[in-house]
Structure 1
Amino acid sequence: MNFKRRAVAAAAVLAVASAGLAAVQATAEATQPEPRARPAACPDLTVSRGWYGENKARLQHLIDTYGHCGSGQRTGGAKPVAVFDWDNTVIKNDVGDATMFWLLRHGKIRTPQGGDWHTTSRYLTDPAAKALTKACPATGTTLPTHRNTARGTACADEIHSVYGEGTTTTGKAAFAGFDHRRMEPQYAWLAQLTRGWSTPQVKRFAAAARAENLATPIGTRQRVGTGQATGWVRYYDQQRDLIRTLKKAGFDVYVVSASPEPVAEVWSRSVGVDARHTIGIRSVTAHGRHTAHLKGCGTVRDGDDSMITYIDGKRCWINQEIYGVRGAAAEKVRPAAKRQVFAAGDSDTDISFLRDATALRLVLNRNKNELMCRAYDNADRRWLINPMFIEPKGAKTDPYPCATTGYTGRNGDAGPVRRTDGSVIPDQRDTVHAPTRTP
């Protein structure tokens, strides 16, 4: 075959091949589904102010993907789960604090059983028990913390210090011997000091504190004993809107709080989260009244008082109460298909259940070391960081000490923050914060 004939033959082959490729492409294009328009009925986030960068858009995409409008719902018809921490995540300030201060100002804390303060917490130190006994002598059913007398204010001051600072008024450690990844005895102590009251009574106390703290102006301080304490709380409009939209899209929305459960229930119902979907510190009851003991989770028995809804304890309570897992398995990370798709938090107490979320994790920046180390590292690109919606913090001047002391171990020792693969997260700079004001 001469050169001319070979060229013609090659051209013919190329034409046939090109025609075949075009036919294949046309067939493929014809069989591809057309992009689906987003149905008008899909629920939208309506509050835009306060969201940082693309956070609102990414949250909307999560809702569209996993809610009724998307294909992200679990097999078998199970709803996608979203879990929110409560204090300083859904609201500004702390409802546990608000309740404790109300109890002190109204003289609603009962005298410890037998006058022994050690019965209020297994982790209370001897110096703290002695200081409390001296400041709060057992002379009645309830303590006179509401009275503006030397005895009343001294008692209120000592309880306030032990609860708020974790020390006596003379600076001695108030709690010791606890697992720092499962227990915060200061938080637990509020639930334990509701001993002797019924759950409806505790809810009434919390409701009274709620009414006061919502009615006072932002920035209000209140007197507790001879000192001052925060005297206001506000719901975040952005989080109320996010919860409403998630629920409307078909998500199962839960609150998991390190405040006493009856207290959290009083507050959470105003964002549409009912008691069944609110998990907090649970008290063991006897004869219809709270005791100074706490319900357990996983391998921790009721009354052992060694685990609350705190760091790894939040994971356990989520697995147990939302997914029905019992025993040691509740304390472990579950398969991805059996975990929440979304979680929101603000503090190191939320680390474990935030890491367990499979799609997005929203963090409100309160400069908490381990949480911000992991969020800024953003190894899987699923972390969203947002300044607080009310009184956001400015830029942290020093980097987060991720490579050295950002992690708190079970015994309380500080160490480096590590990724799942064991590698150390380098120190991180604070870049998502309140806008810098120019003079």
Structure 2
Amino acid sequence: MHTTVRRTWAAPLALVAVTGSAFLTAPPAQAAHTPCPRVTIGSGWYGDNRARLQELIDHYGSCRPHRPGRAKPVAVFDWDNTVVKNDVGDATMFWLLRNGRIRQPAAGDWSTTSRHLTPAATKALADACADLARPGAPLPTGTPAGAACADEINAVYGTAATRTGAPAFAGWDRRTTEPSYAWLPQLMQGWTAREIRGFAAAARTENLAAPVGATQRVGTTTTATGWVRYYDQQTDLIKGLRKAGFDVWISSASPQPVVEVWARSAGIGADHVIGIRNTTTNGGRFTAHLQGCGTTEDGADTMITYIDGKRCWINKEVFGVRGAAAEQVQPAARRQVFAAGDSDTDISFLRDATALRLVVNRNKNELMCRAYDNGDGRWIVNPMFIEPKKRRTDPYPCATTGYVDHDGTKAPVLRADGSVVPDQADSVY
């Protein structure tokens, strides 16, 4: 675990309106300043999004009068489908299955791989995989003999159900974890972080080399996505923010070592990646348990980088907030000024951003309800940069079922003041 630094702003700041949004800038007494080189971002953005992002850089970058001697402004990006097209966790899982790198669990007991795995899923996995390898040994899921095992693992991972349709997971908090996301790093038990980075690098090479639209066969029944691409606009933005003096982080619900490998090309080091993190043995090998945050700081496999869990992990790793306080919204001075995401899984850390929030439109209900409602003028929406989705024809159901509660109950999306967000039309596509 790397050392974290508590960040605060050292002096009072005044608000100035800029193109429909409010940015923090220096008091008038500090306005005199010798200009320094301006950092600019590239093209390829929708509407006035490029201008809004440029304003963010101009008002928070190191060239501004209020910046010298103060902590860097923080920017946080989700990774999958925000900085890259497609999912690097999926790409790694498919590689693990095709190359036989998932180990038989201890005593062949699949319930040890996830506290949320149902008895039906535990039995289905045991039936398909039990005779293929001794406990702790890799399963031959890339061979004809292991194809049924690969099919069962992939069904549980990809559909949250067994091949016969029985629910694979139960009893989780929908705002702090997603058991199928968590299951991928849990299935990496027995390997070291260095070994997992090697697997992820091999999967990365394959997926970047494959043509756009390529597919791959996993097991006997699944034709899966077989390619990934970086969004040039997002990697340029990340590099521009860093050049302008921003402290840029990645928060992802893919495994920590996997995102580390991919983030390197965007200029983000491992110490600025927050993915799902396994606990380890004294020998550095991953266990099937996950590091915790907030009230589960000592680890309970229930607070991953997912919705409210992303808020907790950002507060913990970026701002040094510990214990139960990490699960709460922090004062503005201890929050990111900018955030970017594409899914409902990102909603909490996006709402926490104080200056600007970039949403890549993938037609996700709660996220698009809040982005289009745009009550404080600080949300901007951009279509996906590669293969953007078509316009959603019916409104987002914000006033009825756009929000998913902790127990899975669907409810209206509420503003901070408790009022209901009305249904929203899809207008950026």
SS in 2 for 1:63: helix
Letter in 2 for 1:61: E
Task: Flag the structure with higher helix content.
Answer: 1
Match status 1:60 vs 2:54? yes
Residue in 1 that maps onto 2:227: 232
Q: Is the 8 A contact 1:284 1:302 kept in 2?
A: no
Letter in 2 for 1:83: V
Residues in 2 aligned to 1:336 and 1:396: alpha-carbon distance in whole angstroms:
34
Letter in 1 for 2:119: D
Residues in 1 aligned to 2:150 and 2:394: alpha-carbon distance in whole angstroms:
36
Letter in 1 for 2:291: K
Letter in 1 for 2:367: L
Q: Is the 8 A contact 1:293 1:302 kept in 2?
A: no
Q: Is the deviation greater in 135-144 or in 214-223?
A: 135-144
Match status 1:309 vs 2:305? yes
Residue in 2 that maps onto 1:210: 204
Query: 1:274-293 counterparts in 2 under 5 A?
Result: 274-286=269-281, 287-293=283-289
Residue 89 of structure 1 deviates from its aligned partner by 0.3
SS in 1 for 2:211: coil
Residue 253 of structure 1 deviates from its aligned partner by 0.2
Query: 1:132-147 counterparts in 2 under 5 A?
Result: 132-140=125-133, 141-147=137-143
Query: 1:260-339 counterparts in 2 under 5 A?
Result: 260-286=255-281, 287-339=283-335
Residue in 2 that maps onto 1:103: 96
Aligned counterpart for 1:241 among listed residues 236, 244, 249? 236
Residue in 1 that maps onto 2:158: 164
CA RMSD of aligned residues (A): 1.6
Residue 76 of structure 1 deviates from its aligned partner by 5.4
Residue 77 of structure 1 deviates from its aligned partner by 1.2
Residue in 1 that maps onto 2:183: 189
Give the structure-1-normalised TM-score: 0.88
Q: 1:53 to 1:72 in 2, by over 3 A?
A: farther
Match status 1:44 vs 2:47? no
SS in 2 for 1:284: strand
Q: Is the 8 A contact 2:217 2:223 kept in 1?
A: yes
SS in 1 for 2:413: coil
Give the structure-2-normalised TM-score: 0.90
Query: 1:416-435 counterparts in 2 under 5 A?
Result: 416-433=412-429
Aligned counterpart for 1:124 among listed residues 117, 120, 129? 117
Residue 288 of structure 1 deviates from its aligned partner by 1.4
The Cα offsets for residues 68-106 of structure 1, whole Å up to 9 and x where unpaired, read as: 122454x95100000000000000000000000000000
Residue 302 of structure 1 deviates from its aligned partner by 3.2
Letter in 2 for 1:68: S
Match status 1:87 vs 2:80? yes
Q: Is the 8 A contact 1:65 1:71 kept in 2?
A: no
Q: Which has the larger Rg?
A: 1
Q: Is the deviation greater in 137-146 or in 204-213?
A: 137-146
Residues in 1 aligned to 2:139 and 2:213: alpha-carbon distance in whole angstroms:
29
Residue 139 of structure 1 deviates from its aligned partner by 3.5
The Cα offsets for residues 152-174 of structure 1, whole Å up to 9 and x where unpaired, read as: 11111111111011111111111
Residues in 2 aligned to 1:302 and 1:185: alpha-carbon distance in whole angstroms:
19
Residues in 2 aligned to 1:263 and 1:382: alpha-carbon distance in whole angstroms:
31
The Cα offsets for residues 305-333 of structure 1, whole Å up to 9 and x where unpaired, read as: 11100000000000000011100111100
Letter in 2 for 1:79: K
Match status 1:394 vs 2:390? yes
Residues in 1 aligned to 2:81 and 2:348: alpha-carbon distance in whole angstroms:
17
Residues in 2 aligned to 1:319 and 1:214: alpha-carbon distance in whole angstroms:
33
Q: Is the 8 A contact 2:30 2:66 kept in 1?
A: no
Residue 113 of structure 1 deviates from its aligned partner by 1.1
Letter in 1 for 2:170: A
Residue in 2 that maps onto 1:379: 375
Letter in 2 for 1:192: Q
Residues in 1 aligned to 2:31 and 2:286: alpha-carbon distance in whole angstroms:
57
Residues in 2 aligned to 1:298 and 1:209: alpha-carbon distance in whole angstroms:
33
Deviating beyond 3 angstroms after TM superposition, the runs of 4 or more aligned structure 1 residues are 32-40
Q: Is the 8 A contact 1:111 1:138 kept in 2?
A: no
